[in-house]
Amino acid sequence: MRVGLWARWMAMHGVPRAYMAVRARRGDPLARLIANHGHSHDPYPMMEEIRGNGRLVRTRFTWVSVDHEICRAILRDKRFGVTPPADMDLPRPLRALISRTDPGVANPVEPPAMVIVNPPDHTRYRQLVAQSFTPRATETLATRVSEVTQELIDHIAVMPHPDLITDFAVQLPVAIIAEILGLPADMHPRMLKWANSGTPLLDVGIGWTTYRRAIEGLRDADHDLLERFHQLRSGEPGDTPFARLASDGDLSEREFTANAALLVGAGFETTVNLIGNGIQALLNHPEQLTLLRDQPGRWPAAVEEILRIDSPVQMTARTALCDIDIPGYRIEEGDMVALLLSGANRDPRVFPNPASFDVTRPNAREHLAFGSGIHACIGAALARIEGATALRALFESFPDLRLTAPPQPRGLVNLRGFARMPAQLGSRQATAAKLPT
């Protein structure tokens, strides 16, 4: 089993990682960005180099773009699709190795997770999962977000040196995702373990040890989610839309566990990074924080600017399903396009003075942090509520909050955020938990 898993890692991450390192030394712009990402927490200068090479840049392996208009158009163009790892344009031996070494766990970045399948399968999964994110369901969850946030504020208030990531930012999405999946509160620690171990699979070129731990974490998640699936199938009542999917029989075992794992991984990572990146941005720009304290109605707009200037997910990719002409470029069937969302969110043609953090920016919501088109983040509205509620409550409750050491970056390529953020809260200001206005 270990040998097969190692072979799969080599095919999916090890060989591509080594190849990117070689291409980086030869000056490939995308390879340089990926190879250097773990050593520097500022990828944006390299993205600007890519922008300087053109709106759509051809590299040895793929096309790449940081152009907002092109990225948005490709994300919304049905002539482009997602490509599972086993179908990527890799050497035939690597593709064969991937197809023969499936560990059989609920992987959030492999079929049947909806993020990596095309219509009609994607359409079916998304319509079913979307029942958990209707406006009515989101409104109900917003109340829970406010309640959980207040509980977390009370929790960290008595801690002498809280870590704003592990003690605050990660706890909120875990609790809310448990609500969506209908999992009890005593499952939160296990869910956190799944998320911490499994979310690096959303990254590219991860190391062997990280990959092995991720798959081991997914085995635990798979076991627990299957157990929950069978409980619901056997007649145990489930009062959430996702739980009802299991009991109604609309999803198979693997479809249920894979898409539940996707909600845990993607929902967790997006919100944690949004909150952590927001804390850092606001502490680095106290004048913006003062504005928000004077005008709290701006908190939702502040979240949009945080998402724009420091996207929790940095990039995605699409594959041309046929020959496609984009003005000035010819993309052939099978060509992959790497879409650097965080670079598109700093396109000066759309966002004037794009490196400036400005919570009053009128068009900040035009960012692509949640993607666009049929694969746009299904929980975007909920993530926005979580971010606005958590950040507002934190800074209103602890006006003297400061970090006691530089925050520790995650060190990943695609997932931009912090692993640790030690803080001193200072005196607490009495305030009620509020929903963003």
DSSP at 88: S
d(CA 117, CA 324): 20
Query: What does the pLDDT profile of the chain (437 residues) look like in tens digits?
Result: 577 899 999 988 898 889 888 999 988 888 888 887 654 578 999 999 999 999 999 998 899 999 999 999 999 999 999 988 777 777 888 888 888 888 888 888 889 999 999 999 999 999 999 999 999 999 999 999 999 999 999 999 999 999 999 999 999 999 999 999 888 888 899 888 888 888 888 888 889 999 999 999 889 888 888 888 888 888 766 677 777 777 787 888 889 899 998 988 888 889 999 999 999 999 999 999 999 999 999 999 999 999 999 999 999 999 999 999 998 899 999 999 999 999 999 999 999 999 999 999 999 999 999 999 999 999 999 999 999 999 999 999 999 999 999 999 988 889 999 999 999 999 998 764 444 44
Q: Which two tokens stand for residue 419?
A: 């692993």
Give me the torsion for CA of 238, 241, 245, 246, rounded to 10°.
Answer: -30
Query: What residues does each domain of the chain span?
Result: 2-424
364 in Cβ contact with 347 (< 8 Å): no
SS3 197: helix
Q: Which CATH number fits domain 2-424: 3.40.50.2300, 1.20.1250.20, 3.40.50.720, 1.10.630.10?
A: 1.10.630.10
d(CA 51, CA 111): 33
SS3 313: strand
Question: Other C-beta atoms within 10 Å of 39: how many?
Answer: 7
260 in Cβ contact with 225 (< 8 Å): yes
- pTM value is 0.94
Instruction: Single out the residue of 315, 15, 181, 428 nearest to residue 7, CA to CA.
Output: 15
What angle in degrees, to the nearest 10, is found between the helix axes of 380-397 and 299-309? 110
